Each structure stands twice: as structure tokens, then as C-alpha cells.
Amino acid sequence: MKAGEEKMEEESRDDMKKAINPLLSPYKMGKFNLSHRIVLAPLSRLRSYNFIAQPHAILYYSQRTTNATQIRLAFGQVIRHEHGDQLWMLSMRKEVSSSANFGMRGEFQTLPNGQPPISSTDKPIKTEFHIDGSGGARFDGVEIHGANGYLLDQFMKDEVNDRADEYGGSLENRCRFPLQVIDAVANEIGADKVGIRLSPFANYNESGDSDPDALGLHMAESLNKFSILYCHVIEPRMVTQFEKQETTNSLMPMRKAFRGAFIVAGGYNRDDGNEALSNGVADLVAFGRLFLANPDLPRRFQFDAVLNKHDRSTFYTPDPVVGYTDYPSLET
């Protein structure tokens, strides 16, 4: 076969693959040329001791890297891998929230002596930000954590925000602090390097909202002012962390309102991930448990291979290997 014919055959094979498996089609997100649309959801908090990434994170992310340009989503800060251009997200709390106490109401983390989260107090907010000098120069972007009952989510949600100042009460007021954080981080590193994770519909860690549709839409619209790279949102069906629930709620209004890349997460598998992309519900799909248990998830999706099962008992444990880097890849 001549070289030209070979190329045509290759291209038509590629087209076919894309049609069957949109998750494997490339996507250009800002300056990042992603080779597929499968994103690693944030999963790594407890392996970063004192919220500092440890050497074992290198293996974990390397195992889940398709090539040097694929995005990795986790918790906060994104660091350039010395061997490539991938995005890493590590602990953000130290860098971003140094002037605000951090705490959750839920089971995982509480402030010392039962103090309420800052969104339930009248402590003054000081929006001063600085990016840690040692990592700042090297990372490619930041995913701001605005989901799952963490600091910014506590401000947005009316079930946990009791403040009576300009950071509490109305929807605009509750979203003020998260938007100030986004503005500050974008000013510091450039909006083209900033994404945010949101979960307007989730209510775990005692962070629920009485009108998640309005909250989600308001945030999606407000984010446009900053021209950030992407918005990563947890599906309404994940009202709790891991159980899918029937719902008529949809992320479509947020998707339509937001002008950057839109990432969805929560309960996805290969089929409904492909369906979400085909239906225009999202540009990219994040996978949590499937990607944890299958470091070579894109390859397994490509070949429709059998998937490893996750081991829930090792989810929230600090071991540098077990339940973290010991899930096997397919034989090559």
C-alpha cells in the first residue's frame, strides 16, 4: 500500500474510532492540545501529607498519563512534570486560603475545638493571595476547588453560609468570595491557566443549597467575566459522593451559559461518557473511581477492555502504594 493510501486508511480508522468513542477524540483546551477527553478527577488528597505532594505522586500521575499533554485534575495547584507538559493538581489550601480558616462541617475534617466554618461566622474576609514561590514558577495552571463542601462551596451554599455581611445572604453575596478568589488567581497566573470545580447540587459535608439551579447558573455566567479556561462540574445525580440518584436536574443551563471548556464528572462510564460528548453535554468527562482503579483507562476504553474494580476500603487511606499506585495496567 502506498504511503498516501495508508494515511487515508489511518484517517478513516480514526474517524470511525471517534464516532464510536468520542471520549478518544482530541480536544484543544486553550493552549493545551489534549489527545483525548478523558480527565482524571481529583482523588489524591490523603496521599499528600500535610497537603504537600509527596514523591509517590509522581508515579501515580505518570501511570495515568497518556502523553505529555493530557490534563490531570486533582486538588488545587497544577505543576509541570519535569518530564513533560502535563498538568498536576496538588494541595491548594496552603496557597490560596492562608487568610481564611479552613474547615468542613462534615465527617472528614473539622476545625479545632468545634469552631464553625468561616462561612458561618462574621470573621472579616481578607482577600489577599499569594502563590507559593517554590511551585508558582513551575506550574501550568490551577483548579480552584469550589466543590464538595470545601471552603468556597461553604460560601456559595445557603445551608452553610450564615454570614450577615456582604459575603452572606443573597446569591450574589454568597458567590462574592469564590469569584474574588478566581479573580485573584487569574490575575496572578493568567486566566488561561485557571479552572474551577463546582458541585451546586451536592449536599454532602452539610453543604447544600436551596436553589442549586440558580446557584450553578449564576456561577457559570459570572465566570465568563474572567475568561477562565474551564468549568468542571459534578453532576446533579451525585447528590451524595458515590451514589447516583434519579434526578430531573441538568447541567445544561450551566453548560450553555459558560463560554470556556465544560467538564462533567460523577458516575460516568465509557458509554454514558461517550453519550454526554455526542449530545454536547460537555467537552470533556472526568472519571474518579474508574481512573483510580484503571491507570490506563483511556486505553481500556479504546479497546473496550475489562476494568479493574476499585477497592473502597483504601480510598481514604494515606498509604503511598496500596489503593494508590498498585492498580494494574493492561499487559502491553
> Annotated active-site positions, please?
150
Q: Which stretch binds ligand FMN (CB under 6 A): 39-47, 83-91, 100-108, 273-281?
A: 39-47
The yes or no reply on residue 75 touching ligand FMN (CB under 6 A) is yes
Q: Is 266 one of the binding residues for ligand FMN (CB under 6 A)?
A: yes
Nearest residue to ligand FMN by CB is: 288
Paired strand residues for 284: 263
Using the rule CB under 6 A, is 43 a contact of ligand FMN? yes
Size of site (CB under 6 A) for ligand FMN = 20
Does the footprint of ligand FMN cover residue 285 (CB under 6 A)? no
Residue 188, phi then psi, degrees to nearest 5: -75, -45
The number of beta carbons lying within 10 Å of the beta carbon of residue 186 is 20
| Contact status: 51 vs ligand FMN (CB under 6 A) | no
Beta-carbon count within 10 A of 178 CB: 23
Report the phi/psi class of residue 149: left, alpha or beta, with left for phi > 0 and alpha for psi in -120 to 50.
left
Q: Which is nearer to ligand FMN, 262 or 268 (CB)?
A: 268
Q: Is 234 in the site for ligand FMN (CB under 6 A)?
A: yes
Interaction residues for ligand FMN, span 90-119 (CB under 6 A): none
Task: Please tell me whether residue 315 binds ligand FMN under the rule CB under 6 A.
Answer: yes
- Shortest gap between Cβ of 215 and ligand FMN (angstroms)? 17
Residue with cell 498498585: 326
Residues 6 or more apart in contact with residue 233 via CB below 8 angstroms: 197, 198, 199, 200, 216, 251, 254, 262, 263, 264, 265
For ligand FMN, the binding residue among 90, 147, 219, 284 (CB under 6 A) is 147
For CA atoms 115, 119, 123, 124, the dihedral sign is: positive
Work out whether 208 is an interface residue with ligand FMN (CB under 6 A).
Answer: no
User: How far is residue 118's CA from residue 105's CA, in Å, rounded to a whole number?
Assistant: 11
Residues in contact with ligand FMN by CB under 6 A are: 41-43, 45, 75, 147-148, 197, 234, 238, 265-268, 287-290, 292, 315
